């Protein structure tokens, strides 16, 4: 009898090996043995694939959209502790703080509202900022992703891929950190088998941090917990259940921002530590996500997977909102109003997905089909001050130190409630037309319904309903050779809006189309990945700020108007990976323009050009164990305008171009123990990280120079 080993590549870096026994004209194939081959991009800034764009298991090169993957190694090197830190350093993403508790995220001029955990859509408010200690990597797909995400902007989808319980031997990673403004932090990450064979495994993460801030009065504390259990029910069936829980506590946090002008129209010059907060300001956010999935691999290489998730968010805000422009001599004239919000949401999600190969026209192709339903229930309540605004004597703002008695608040009332239900069926396929040409086609059919109950902020109940909304997707990838590919993609855009105009009416849905063409490359045996893309987005009914107007009856939220004929276009460049075995880098450049049919700029709070660069070098020889690196984030000026209270004229108030320089050094003492130092804003650049045109152009200072020292130990 002759035994012949054979191998077949079935995915990036994964082979199926089989021993084929031949005897007397009969052959018998034994059960396959799964072997993980060495990935040339392991322990690198380069990732091999991403599913966030189409749901198909495509390499980055075969995905006909711009994709950035921030690997675990890069998260650690750049000390990217939370999601906003990651996105600040991601190609094409603009992160603009609204105040010290919230930030808006935009890509290509449009807000990012599509988020995922492990590919499962989830909701995140702009005050939710997940800890990266829970994730293995973060994928950002730029452009429209309606095929998987449904209704949304043509901006990006952010997929946070959680750590897996895939280790059959015990291991633990322990780290501790201290830094500027009395920062303290620590993380424990434990992976362990839960039975003798390792068929049941667990992974548990605890992450804690607290610190003061360069802003007066502010103190924050974050605790994040994660637990997941994976069980091999059979050789082909995997069950996964887990939970994430994050609690954020902020005391003395500033809401809104600092006034840009004095009452006479001259510019203010506040220190970076200045705050409009009180010593009783409070902003607490609790997020929990429960999830379960089961997947089965059939003998024909097809996979059937079911996912269920439940997310709950609780938000409590006790705030003093301060606005207006003070007198330049007396400091008088600021106004304020207290709030005590309670709110949050519950979200249920369920989906079933089948994917696998099929043969046709003499070639092998791939298809995925899925059905999903998501229900989001958002509720907000509030307590207003008993006394009118004029009864709050704020006094001289030059002497403000936050010691302000909390006014008496009235009874709690229901402010708003929105229930949004999405049900969809989608399919995508990759057709191997020739050896070099691949076609990616997809279609999503969705029913969307949003019910708004009659509340104080929404005086009249209403329903927004869209049935059978179609979202087509088309992409093409052509391999020029083993290193380079050309690609193009198209998809439509559909997004119901919750924005209101100056009359209190809701804007019509945004509709339009998104196009992208580009080139991608895998160089140096896969160690270096490069991409260049040109994009164009056409939209109607885009909500843009109606400067100087507010939504009745409260007149606190800025009003919006529907901009017609909005066109955004631009290009992006990215290069990520190892230039040599010891030298690694990530480079990203993005540039866009966004205007309406009249040539008026939209997305005015975002820089039009961005450069994001980080590099590191690992020494050998006598300096073995030492790694040094650094980077720069450069932003062009923002075309933000505001109304000068002294002259009544519209003026440019956006931040001029600015650059933030970071530095990094790490020493690996042995295989288990290392120490690392990260310096952010090394040159102490003074810049405004957010400036808006409403209520006197309130702004937030960017973070000054900070230093963080961390040590880590690995138990293996």
The per-residue pLDDT for range 385-441, each reduced to its tens digit, is: 888 766 677 889 999 999 998 889 999 999 999 999 999 999 999 999 999 999 999
Residues 275 and 217 sit within 8 Å (Cβ to Cβ): yes
Q: Compute how many other C-beta atoms are within 10 angstroms of the C-beta atom of residue 11.
A: 12
| Separation of alpha carbons 72 and 67, rounded Å | 16
Extract the tokens encoding 676: 């690392």
| 3-class DSSP assignment, residue 299 | coil
Name every residue whose Cβ is closer than 8 Å to that of residue 299 and which is 6 or more positions away in sequence.
none
| CA-closest candidate to residue 544, choices 598, 581, 620 | 598
3-state SS track over 333-344: CCEEEEEEEEEE
| Separation of alpha carbons 8 and 14, rounded Å | 9
| CA-closest candidate to residue 607, choices 92, 66, 152, 86 | 92
| CA-closest candidate to residue 311, choices 362, 244, 264, 215 | 244
Q: Compute how many other C-beta atoms are within 10 angstroms of the C-beta atom of residue 399.
A: 7
pLDDT for res 695: 58
Order of strands, sheet of 66-71, starting from the edge strand that comes earlier in the sequence: 66-71, 135-142, 156-162, 114-117, 120-122
Extract the tokens encoding 310: 């439940």
Name every residue whose Cβ is closer than 8 Å to that of residue 635 and which is 6 or more positions away in sequence.
94, 607, 609, 610, 655, 657, 658, 659
Extract the tokens encoding 60: 């980055």
pLDDT for res 696: 59
Beta strands in 72-155 (DSSP E): 93-97, 103-107, 110-111, 114-117, 120-122, 135-142
Peptide bond into 553 cis (omega under 30): yes
Alpha carbons within 13 A on the beta-carbon side of 137: 21
Q: Which residue has the tokens 């018998």?
A: 28
Which residues is 295 bridged to in the sheet?
238, 305
pLDDT for res 486: 98
Model pTM score: 0.89
| Separation of alpha carbons 123 and 474, rounded Å | 27
Alpha carbons within 13 A on the beta-carbon side of 338: 25
Q: What angle do CA 59, 60, 63 make, to 5 degrees?
A: 90
pLDDT for res 558: 82
Which residues of the chain have a pLDDT value below 70?
1-42, 49, 51-54, 389-391, 554-556, 691-697
Q: Which domains does the chain have, with CATH numbers?
A: 2-36 (no CATH), 49-614+625-715 (2.40.170.20)
């Amino acid at each position: 009898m002759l035994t012949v080993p054979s191998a077949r590549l079935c995915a990036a870096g994964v082979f199926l090996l089989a021993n084929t026994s031949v005897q007397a004209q009969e052959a018998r194939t034994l059960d396959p043995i799964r072997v993980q081959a060495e990935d040339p991009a392991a322990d690198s800034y380069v990732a091999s694939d991403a599913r966030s764009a189409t749901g198909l298991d495509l390499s980055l090169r075969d995905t006909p959209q711009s994709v950035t993957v921030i690997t675990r190694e890069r998260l650690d090197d750049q000390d990217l502790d939370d999601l906003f830190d990651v996105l600040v350093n991601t190609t094409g993403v603009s992160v603009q703080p609204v105040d010290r508790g919230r930030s808006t995220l935009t890509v290509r001029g449009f807000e990012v509202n599509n988020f995922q955990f492990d590919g499962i859509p989830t909701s995140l408010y702009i005050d939710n900022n997940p800890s990266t200690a829970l994730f293995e990597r973060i994928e950002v797909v730029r452009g429209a992703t309606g095929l998987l995400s449904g209704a949304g902007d043509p901006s990006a989808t952010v997929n946070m891929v959680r750590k897996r319980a895939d280790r059959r031997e015990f291991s633990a990673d322990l780290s501790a950190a201290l830094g500027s403004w009395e920062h303290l932090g620590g993380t424990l990450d434990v992976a362990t088998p839960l039975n003798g064979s390792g068929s049941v495994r667990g992974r548990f993460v605890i992450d804690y941090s607290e610190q003061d801030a360069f802003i007066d009065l502010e103190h924050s504390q974050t605790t994040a917990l994660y637990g997941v259990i994976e069980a091999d029910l059979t050789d082909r069936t995997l069950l996964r259940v887990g939970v994430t829980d994050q609690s954020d506590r902020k005391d003395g946090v500033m809401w809104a921002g600092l006034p840009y002008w004095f009452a006479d129209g001259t510019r203010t010059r506040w220190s970076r530590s200045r705050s409009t907060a009180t010593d009783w300001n409070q902003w607490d956010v609790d997020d929990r996500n429960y999830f379960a999935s089961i997947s089965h691999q059939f003998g024909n290489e097809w996979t059937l997977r079911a996912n269920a998730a439940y997310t709950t968010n609780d938000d409590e805000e006790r705030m003093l909102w301060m606005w207006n422009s003070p007198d330049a001599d007396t400091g008088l004239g600021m106004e304020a109003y207290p709030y005590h919000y309670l709110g949050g949401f519950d979200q249920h999600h369920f989906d079933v997905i089948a994917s696998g190969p099929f043969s046709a026209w003499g070639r092998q192709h791939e298809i995925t089909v899925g059905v999903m339903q998501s229900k989001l229930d958002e509720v907000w309540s509030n307590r207003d001050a008993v006394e009118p605004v004029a009864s709050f004597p704020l006094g001289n703002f030059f002497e403000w130190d936050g010691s302000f008695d909390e006014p008496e608040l009235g009874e709690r009332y229901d402010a708003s409630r929105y229930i949004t239900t999405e049900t969809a069926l989608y399919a995508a396929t990759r057709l191997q037309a020739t050896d070099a040409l691949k076609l990616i086609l997809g279609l999503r059919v969705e029913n969307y319904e949003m019910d708004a109950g009659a509340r104080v902020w929404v005086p009249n109940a209403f329903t927004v309903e869209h049935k059978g909304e179609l979202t087509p997707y088309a992409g093409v990838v052509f391999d020029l050779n083993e290193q380079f590919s050309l690609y193009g993609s198209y998809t439509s855009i559909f997004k119901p809006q919750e924005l209101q105009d100056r009359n209190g009416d809701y804007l019509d849905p945004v509709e339009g189309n998104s196009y992208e063409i580009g080139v991608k490359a895998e160089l140096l045996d896969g160690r270096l990945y490069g991409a260049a893309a040109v994009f164009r987005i056409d939209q109607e009914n885009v909500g843009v700020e109606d400067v100087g107007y507010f939504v009745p009856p409260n007149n606190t939220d800025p009003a919006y108007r529907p901009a017609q004929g909005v066109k955004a276009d631009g290009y992006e460049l990215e290069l990520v990976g190892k230039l040599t075995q010891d030298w690694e880098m990530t480079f990203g450049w993005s540039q866009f323009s966004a205007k309406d049919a009249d040539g008026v700029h939209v997305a005015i709070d975002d820089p039009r050009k961005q450069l994001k660069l980080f590099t590191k070098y690992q020494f050998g020889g006598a300096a073995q164990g030492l790694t040094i690196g650094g980077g720069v984030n450069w932003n062009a000026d923002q075309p933000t305008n505001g109304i000068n209270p002294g002259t009544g004229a519209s003026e440019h108030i956006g931040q001029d171009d600015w650059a933030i320089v970071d530095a990094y050094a790490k020493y690996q003492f042995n295989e288990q123990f290392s120490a690392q130092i990260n310096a952010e804003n090394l040159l102490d650049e003074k810049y405004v990280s957010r400036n808006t045109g409403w209520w006197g152009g309130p702004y937030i200072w960017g973070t000054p120079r900070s230093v963080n020292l961390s040590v880590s130990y690995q138990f293996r």
